[in-house]
Chains A and B, each alone.
Chain A
Amino acid sequence: MTTVNWWKTLRAVPSWVYPSMLGVFLLVLPVLQPGYSVTRQVELTLILALIVSGLNLSLGYAGQLAIGQVAMYAAGAYTAGIIAMAGVTDILVQLLAAGLAALVVGILTGIPGLRLGSWSLAMTSFFLVLLVPDIVSIFEEHTGGQLGLSGIPGATLLGFQLTPTHFYLTVVTVAILWFAAFRNIIASRHGIAFQVLKQSPVLASSVGMSVFRIKLSGYATGAVPAGLAGALFANLDLFVSLEAFGFHVATGALAASILGGSVSVYGAVLGAAVVEYASSQSDSFQEYSLVFFGLFLLLGGVLMSGGVAGVARTFVARLDRAAGLVGRGPSKAGDGEAIHRIDGGLLEVTGISKAFGGNRVLTDVSLRAEPGRVTALIGPNGSGKTTLLNLVCGYYRRDAGEITLDGTPIRTAATHRIARLGVARTFQTPLIPPSITVRDVVASGRYTVEDMSFAGAILRTPRFRAIQRRDRQRADEMLRLVGLEDVADTEAATLPLGMRRMLEVARALVAEPKVLLLDEAASGLDEGEVETLAGVIRRIRDAGCTIILVEHNFGLVLSLADEIVVLARGSVLASGTPSDIANDPRVRDEYLGAGDQDVRLDDSVIAAAARQETSS
């Protein structure tokens, strides 16, 4: 019991306090006169930690294996060294120039590297490391070539010469500032966006995130700390040589990242400390270091996917549960929550066709979905319902036909652009990113509603805070609407299927879309859940949204839809009001099975459909 209380007190302290305490400790360390070897060890560790944190941003968060951080480190070091030789010794200018140089390298290599799947960035960035010696020897007169760049004048700050202690403080300060910035990026919607992207690029683009831009921003931003580390390194020994930028260092940094936990902010410090300490211990480690780094990568990848930080996180979560800090248990859908007025859009699909190779999936399909109405799309398996949704969202290119939203044609644009026009959707199999809370999942749907820059997140500007507040507020409203407010702080991926479907609806709705596409939202739900879902859909419709519902549950469709389009073998078989469709003999033949008594429609269902129609 006492342990629990003790834990509660510890957890009541905001999480950023602990790393800050480490930062303060490192800042006051010189007072204790620890000696040269200790301060040097701290400096080297922090320099490596900067490189590793860049790797974490790109590998752990943006999900891209990039091994080229060492090349950016080299770019930073040589930039700082060369401008110092030219007389610019101010450390601030050097840091700025080195950071920018690294950023440019990051952007220039990230753009081509990210065009093609995961390995191409790994390889292009790996290639960078191979190029470092070549480029250094091409510019030999500036870089010193193989011999290294020696005789760099000592760093100054605003005209004052820095003593070793001052320089130590500079290194610690730069590291603290970078880690604070890193933490602020991750603890913002950008951090959530990274998680969403990692789970599924399809999902990310469906909420309007540009997959390419997010990956690039993660990778290119990750170059900046490596550049800063380079500037610090150049001033540490006032000597820069090729030895510091080989594959050996690259794999060491990667090993530190995996060891500390790639998907973490402070794991980088831990991983860097271990690798740096081990490297400094003995010469024999140098000899075996590649074997050890390789084993770190191998074991890290196989055994503990989260690194030390991941293990710590699991432990914290367990203690939290033991201490009863996490709320549990779902609630019933809240009927009280009023939905804001939504301006639905008129979606028109005209004469659309699509074939995959020789297989014609859709032939000349047209439909019209009006604001404030539910248009249901039904048909047997393989009749092309989901394909039609995917065409609307831009996942596929159509062969012929036109799709317009409020009269403006939706070209075969990138998926995230279509999402930004106001088309939101849910998926047949709910796509929920792991290890983020229910509230954050919903908030991720607002990514496009209000733009927010990395800089805003780092500096925590008033605008950032306002947006963050609104994200949270709107997410909570949506959660109340679908009845998930009691599980808002639970890890979303642990929810049962019914709740995950509701969660997807909430995420789609939070962006206030003009058109909402629901892909088999009710499949796998029990009766009570279907009831709740139907209620929610009605209220969204009444708020003015245009809803397209792909659904197999015929009873639900009849009771919910204002307009039904029946697809069969890729063409429109019939369309009309629920009672038209329910009485259409062709639909009965095609969809429900001719003369099959067992699937005859329940009269009560038809009656319900008729009532529904008259009431709306």
Chain B
Amino acid sequence: MTLIYAGLSLGAVYALVAIGYNIVFVASRSFNFAQAQLMMIGAFVAYTGYVTLGLPAIVVVVLAMVVVMLVAAILERVAVRPVADHQTQLITTLGFGTVLTGLAQLIWGSQPLDVPFFGAKEAMTLFGGRLYSFELGLIVLSVVLVAVIHVYNRRMMSGLAIVAMSQDDEAAVLRGINVRKLAFAAFAITGLLAGLMGFFIGPKTFAVATLGSALALKGFVALAIGGFGSFYGGLAGGFVVGLVEEHAARYLGSEFSNLSVFLILILVLMLRPTGLFGQIQERTV
């Protein structure tokens, strides 16, 4: 059970990355390679706020959210908006993510920093397994976020507008939807969420500059398993990746954890390229 909790909470981290990918994907059909780096910055800001400055938890959360939202807003302005095609956006967002990694290394060094979590310090026992409060927090956060986003997309006008945009942005423009503003808002919101997520993932993964690339990849696998654009799929995919990774590390050895996740990615791409919850689209001329 302890292993399952570990897997689920790690999976929740990946699911959170996948949520970030999905929000941007649904709103602008583009792929934000720097998503995981945004979360990394969130974790570092949480560390600085908590440990270096000794601020109260709620201030730290708000601080992380605001800082990362600003970074995401800059990302949208310099790396996404000026670039027309999605292929080039891959390169520019990767570039932005690399800059963030480099800056994080310069500012916070390359040693992993332990980010503390509010609440109980020691592990609790639940259904015969042990887990930490931050692990429970991660799982709850990812599930709640997905549910909220789902309801938002179905019920609210702006949610529907975003869905409309993802179908056909030209048609959305003709309907009077401000596509640019919404795309910008989507980035800002992912930044806000990434800040929040960074606060939660820090205790689990440590704040370390190399966090970005591993998270980016595992989050992508979660997305590939779940299907692009599907929030529930991303959540399920994240849990699958987390569980597989923890079990492989436990039973095969730590050097097999990445490899087994990679094999899952390959299998999904070969057998069901649209993911478990994805839709097949017919091509048009």
User: What residues of chain A have their CB less than 8 Å away from a CB belonging to chain B?
Assistant: 63, 65, 67, 109, 111-113, 115-116, 118-120, 122-124, 126-127, 130-131, 133-135, 137-138, 202, 247, 251, 254-255, 258, 287-302, 305, 356, 386, 390, 393, 395-397, 427-428
Contacts and interface: CB of A to CB of B under 8 A. Distances in A.
A297 B270 contact: no
B95 A295 contact: yes
A396 B220 contact: no
B214 interface: yes
Given A65-B87, A289-B102, A395-B284, A120 B224 contact: yes
A331 to B, nearest CB: 31
Given A290-B98, A291-B99, A302 B86 contact: no
A202 B83 contact: no
B259 interface: yes
A187 to B, nearest CB: 24
B255 A134 contact: yes
B151 interface: no
A78 B148 CA distance: 49
B266 interface: yes
Given A290-B101, A291-B106, A395-B284, A119 B91 contact: no
19 contacts: A65-B90, A65-B91, A112-B266, A116-B269, A118-B90, A120-B269, A122-B90, A127-B262, A130-B213, A130-B214, A138-B259, A202-B283, A288-B102, A290-B102, A297-B92, A301-B79, A301-B88, A390-B285, A397-B282
A124 B78 contact: no
A118 B95 contact: no
Contacts of B101: 290, 294
B269 A112 contact: yes
Nearest to B92: A301
B256 A124 contact: no
Nearest to B25: A119
B99 A295 contact: yes
Given A289-B102, A291-B106, A118 B86 contact: yes
Interface of B: 31, 33, 78-79, 82-83, 86-92, 94-103, 105-106, 210, 213-214, 216-217, 220-221, 224, 255-259, 262, 265-266, 269-270, 273-274, 282-285
Contacts of A297: 91-92, 94-95, 98
Q: Which residue among B91, B269, B283 has the maximum number of chain A CB atoms within 10 Å of its CB?
A: B91
- If over half of B's interface residues share one DSSP class (helix, strand or loop), that class is named, otherwise mixed; here it is helix
Given A287-B106, A302-B78, A386-B285, A113 B269 contact: yes
Contacts of A116: 224, 269, 273-274
Nearest to B270: A112
Contact of A124 (B98, B266, B274): B266
B259 A302 contact: no
B177 to A, nearest CB: 22
A317 B23 CA distance: 43
A112 B265 CA distance: 9
Q: Which residue among A109, A111, A126, A292 has the maximum number of chain B CB atoms within 10 Å of its CB?
A: A126
- If over half of A's interface residues share one DSSP class (helix, strand or loop), that class is named, otherwise mixed; here it is helix
Contact of B259 (A134, A251, A291, A301): A134
A570 to B, nearest CB: 17
Given A118-B86, A202-B285, A294 B106 contact: no
Closest 4 CB pairs of A and B: A297-B95, A290-B102, A294-B98, A294-B99
Contacts of B79: 298, 301-302
B258 A131 contact: yes
Contacts of A109: 266
A124 B92 contact: no
A120 B265 CA distance: 10
Given A63-B87, A116-B224, A386-B285, A294 B97 contact: yes
Contacts of B83: 301-302
A390 B255 CA distance: 49
A305 B87 CA distance: 12
Nearest to A428: B285
Given A118-B87, A120-B269, A137 B255 contact: yes
A111 B91 CA distance: 22
Nearest to A128: B262
A400 B245 CA distance: 46
B88 A305 contact: yes
Given A123-B265, A395-B285, 17 more contacts: A65-B87, A115-B273, A118-B31, A118-B87, A124-B265, A127-B221, A130-B214, A133-B255, A202-B283, A287-B106, A291-B103, A301-B92, A302-B83, A356-B282, A393-B285, A395-B282, A428-B285
Given A130-B217, A302-B83, A395-B285, A115 B78 contact: no
Nearest to A296: B95
Contact of A298 (B95, B255, B259, B266): B95
A393 B284 CA distance: 11
Q: Which residue among A111, A123, A386 has the maximum number of chain B CB atoms within 10 Å of its CB?
A: A123
Contacts of B102: 288-294
B233 to A, nearest CB: 14
B92 A302 contact: yes
A289 B105 CA distance: 11
Contacts of B262: 124, 127, 131
Contacts of A202: 283, 285
Given A63-B87, A290-B99, A294-B97, A134 B256 contact: yes
Contacts of A390: 284-285
Nearest to A122: B90
Nearest to A118: B87
A466 to B, nearest CB: 34
Q: Which residue among B79, B86, B92 has the maximum number of chain A CB atoms within 10 Å of its CB?
A: B92
Contacts of B95: 255, 293-301
